Amino acid sequence: MLSKNQLKLVNSLRLHKYRQEHGLFIAEGVKLVNEALKSSFEIHQIFATPEWIDAGHLPDGRYLVDVVEITQAELEKISALSTPNQVLALVKIPSGIPVPDASGEWALLLDQIRDPGNLGTIIRTADWFGIDRIIAATSSVDIWNPKVVQASMGSVFRMPVHYTDIHAYLSGNLDRVPVYGTLLEGEDISGVKLGKDGIVVIGNESHGISDSVKPFITRKITIPAANAGSSGRAESLNASIATAILCYEIRRQCP
């Protein structure tokens, strides 16, 4: 049974402020909760219908998880999904993991990504292509926002994401690895020779790369559009689409 306090806690976690206060975030649905259980993340509590509990999803070594049995009606009260799916977990936000230097790895640096769907999709795509790490400006959308967690399809449990001072990160790595950024005057990405490591800067959805970040870019690149017909062309690509193409190109050149 779901208590009033539990209901209040879960619903409060839709807001950044309460996620910070409680150090918890929400993962919903069978697939996502199973990804959480397989990961090294600590699970605070699971709310599940008898259907989920009876299916025996808890893996070995996870028997100590606190599982609260709830009804479908109670699940609907705490779920943000249009079709609530058996289970909702409260997961502990991992605390400050130190950011390693960028040598020998590929990192995406997010300069103020604002849309939760975009961030979730970027994490899922980076995970697919084996990007090592995501570095996010503290002003970017919160990775523990439920919409980010859902859109990542579980990749938040695998991909290291660090919120940090991106200027400090960039200046600390400038002499170690190339810093790529998509700018209109850049070189066609498919013709740029990519090596074994680098930082790829992804700009904000509307405003692109910040003026304060541009000076750190050592390799200007672009994703070329087809020639415009008589009626013109799309002016830009969506931020998660542009990121995906860069990740694909990294893996194509450096499998």
Cα 60 versus chain centre, distance: 27
Near a copy of itself by CB under 8 A: residue from 50, 104, 130, 172: 130
Write out the binding residues for a copy of itself, residues 174-203 only, by CB under 8 A.
190
Query: In the complex with a copy of itself, which residue's Cβ is closer, 96 or 191?
Result: 191
Near a copy of itself by CB under 8 A: residue from 6, 12, 39, 139: 39
Segment contacting a copy of itself by CB under 8 A, of 45-53, 81-89, 211-219, 229-237: 229-237
Query: In the complex with a copy of itself, which residue's Cβ is closer, 39 or 164?
Result: 39
Cα distance between residue 254 and residue 32, in whole Å: 30
Q: Does 238 bind a copy of itself (CB under 8 A)?
A: yes
Using the 8-state DSSP alphabet, how is residue 65 labeled?
S
Query: In the complex with a copy of itself, which residue's Cβ is closer, 56 or 229?
Result: 229
Other Cβ atoms within 10 Å of 153 Cβ, number: 17
Nearest to 127 by CA among 143, 147, 112, 111: 143
Buried b (16+ CB within 10 A) or exposed e, 192-225: bebeebbbbbbbbeeebbbeebeebbebbbbbee
Query: In the complex with a copy of itself, which residue's Cβ is closer, 157 or 180?
Result: 157
Please give the structure tokens belonging to residue 11: 């619903």
Query: In the complex with a copy of itself, which residue's Cβ is closer, 93 or 245?
Result: 245
User: Mask of contacts with a copy of itself, 140-179, x by CB under 8 A?
Assistant: -------------xxx-xx---------------------
- The β-bridge partners of 163 are 136
Write out the binding residues for a copy of itself, residues 69-128 only, by CB under 8 A.
117, 121, 124-125, 127-128
Query: Could you tell me if 26 and 88 are in contact, meaning their C-beta atoms sit under 8 angstroms apart?
Result: yes
Angle at 205 between CA 95 and CA 112, to 5 degrees: 30
Please give the structure tokens belonging to residue 226: 């087809």
Q: Tell me how far, at minimum, the Cβ of 138 lies from a copy of itself, in Å.
A: 24
Near a copy of itself by CB under 8 A: residue from 8, 16, 38, 77: 38
Query: Could you tell me if 65 and 46 are in contact, meaning their C-beta atoms sit under 8 angstroms apart?
Result: yes
Residues of this chain that bind a copy of itself (CB under 8 A): 38-40, 117, 121, 124-125, 127-130, 153-155, 157-158, 190, 223-227, 229, 231-238, 240-241, 244-245, 248, 251-252, 255
